[in-house]
Each structure stands twice: as C-alpha cells, then as structure tokens.
Amino acid sequence: MQNMIQKDSIYAEPLAQVQDFCFDADVVEVFPDMIQRSVPGYQTIIQTIGKLTQRYQQASSNYYDLGCSLGAASLAMRRQLSDSSSKIIAVDNSPAMVERCRMHLHAFRSDVPLEVQLGDIRDLAIDNAAMVVSNFTLQFLPKADRDALVTRIYQGLKPGGIFILSEKVVFDDAVTHDLLIDLHHDFKRANGYSELEISQKRTALENVMRPDTLAQHQQRFAAAGFASATVWFQCFNFCSMVAIKQGAADANV
C-alpha cells in the first residue's frame, strides 16, 4: 500500500545460501524501516544535514546527495533552501531506488530544483558545490576508487563548501572493534531483529560493504586537500564526519 512503511523481514527466514546484499526492489520496499532499525543515529544525522544546510548554504550553488536512496538527505537540504537558482542533484545507481525516490520527492513542493539521476557517483561531474553529502554510500565503493572520488569532491566544492561523510567504521584494535560491533548488534536486537536476521544480513554485507577506519578517512580528507575535517557524530561503529574547504564563502541567499 502506498505511503505505508513496510517492515523489513528480508533475512527473517533461514536462507540456503545468503546472496550478496543489493539495493533491489525488495530492499527498496522496506528501506525506511531497515535503515531506521539498523543505523544508530540515522534520524539525528538527517536532521543535522538540515542544520548544516542552514549554516553553509551559498547563493546559486549545487548540492549533491551521493547514493541518495529514497532522498532523505536531499529532502533535509531542500527544506532549508529557497534559492531557485540553486540546485540539488541526487544520484543513485539502483534503478529501483531512483524510481521510488522520484515518486517520493515529487510529493513535496519546493522552488528549489531537484534532479534525481540514475548513475554511478564515480562518473558524476561535481562542480560549484556548496555541499556534498555521502550518507552511508562511500563504504559501498571499491576501496581503490575512494581516494579519487573524495579528491573530485574537494575540487568540485566552492570555497567555504562542506563535505558530509557518514560511514560505518572499523577499528584496528580488536577489543574495541568487537565491543562496538556487539553494541550495534544489541541495538538491532532491541529494534526487533532476531539473531538469524542479524547474522544473515552480516553475511550478505561482507563482500559489498567494506568500511574504513577513522584514521583512513582523516588521511583521505587530508590527501584530497581538506584542511579541516572532524567526526561530529559517533554511535558505536557508525559515524558522520564533516570536511570543510577553506576560503571565503559567497553570501547566503
């Protein structure tokens, strides 16, 4: 039924063989429930993307949402913008996501143009950007492709522009790593996922989601040219970072 949030039960039954996780029509159907029950702080992060938009918006600029899924970050940015000479560009390479994202976003009215593109963020031209958001997307790219993308993001930002990067992270220290994974699994259990769901999803993600350490993110920001970058949110092994390109921003609208 339209507008009804479907409960995620994708991994509820035992599977003979757990396939690699992919963002197909079944996942799209349950995605809001899945992300809400799986990612600690998801709502706080989306709200803060809105607050950062208030603070860092610049006139006549582009706002990118890389791996937009159903467009939650795009909507959070658009709610804060009123400048019709600015533009939001939301990109995802899952046809099922893009189709549902377009339906969802067209239900909200705004003067700010918003384009939902089907495509790979590695091929996207990024320019004149006040903000680039990657909310839990970089972790799905092959590791070898991440440096080049972050460098292109830096180059596509205007002075005073920001890159918001949310990611699941891993820890070099095994004791810390295991503790934070256990706490995340407790969070999922408290949100109604069974042991079977937790373990089958973990297997499904193993080959497709490869998180970096916080040190690797910091190092990548610096190599791309960002002089200022910090973690602004962390809950267990989930975090969100903001990297700021130096220079004087254009005036707000």
Ligand X SMILES: Nc1ncnc2c1ncn2[C@@H]1O[C@H](C[S@+](CC[C@H]([NH3+])C(=O)[O-])CC(=O)[O-])[C@@H](O)[C@H]1O
- Residues flagged as binding site for S-adenosyl-L-methionine: 42, 67-69, 92-93, 120-121, 135, 202
Q: Taking CB under 6 A as the rule, does residue 73 contact ligand X?
A: yes
Q: How far apart are CA 142 and CA 21, in angstroms?
A: 15
Q: Which does 72 bind (CB under 5 to 8 A by kind): ligand PPY, ligand X, none?
A: ligand X
Residues 124, 101: Cα–Cα separation, whole Å: 18
Whole-number Cα distances in Å, 3 to 6, 29, 85, 97, 107: 9, 10, 31, 15, 11
Q: Which amino acid is at 119?
A: G
72, 88, 150, 180: residue in contact with ligand X (rule CB under 6 A): 72
CB contact set of 224 (below 8 Å; sequence gap of 6+): 147, 150, 151, 153, 154, 243
- Residue 92 touches ligand X, criterion: CB under 6 A: yes
Distances (CA, A) of 183 to 39, 99, 205, 215, 235: 12, 35, 18, 21, 9
Q: Which stretch binds ligand PPY (CB under 6 A): 34-42, 141-149, 227-235, 240-248?
A: 34-42
Q: Which does 62 bind (CB under 5 to 8 A by kind): ligand PPY, ligand X, none?
A: none
Considering only 10, 11, 28, 34, the residue that binds ligand PPY (CB under 6 A) is 34
Among 9, 102, 128, 140, binds ligand X (CB under 6 A): 140
Count residues near ligand X (CB under 6 A).
20
Q: Is 38 in the site for ligand PPY (CB under 6 A)?
A: yes
Identity of the residue, 41 or 161, whose beta carbon is nearer to ligand X in the bound complex: 41
Residue 48 engages ligand PPY in binding (rule: CB under 6 A): no
In this structure, the strands spanning 157-168 and 238-244 are: antiparallel
Q: Which stretch binds ligand X (CB under 6 A): 3-11, 63-71, 80-88, 193-201?
A: 63-71
Residue 72 makes CB contacts below 8 A (sequence gap 6+) with: 46, 135
Closest approach, Cβ 104 to ligand PPY, in A, equals: 17
Closest among 244, 248, 208, 239 to 229, alpha carbons compared: 244
Residue nearest to ligand PPY (CB): 38
Question: Among 31-39, 84-92, 93-101, 221-229, which window interacts with ligand PPY (CB under 6 A)?
Answer: 31-39
**Does residue 168 touch ligand PPY according to CB under 6 A?**
yes
Q: Which residues contact 77 (CB under 8 A, 6 or more apart)?
A: 49, 50, 53, 63, 65, 88, 131, 133
Structure-block tokens of residue 79: 């709610």
Q: Which whole-number Å values give the CA distances from 92 to 10, 119, 137, in the listed order?
A: 21, 6, 9
Q: Which residues bind ligand PPY (CB under 6 A)?
A: 34-35, 38-39, 168, 201, 205
Q: Which residues bind ligand X (CB under 6 A)?
A: 23, 35, 67-69, 72-73, 91-94, 97, 120-122, 135-137, 140-141
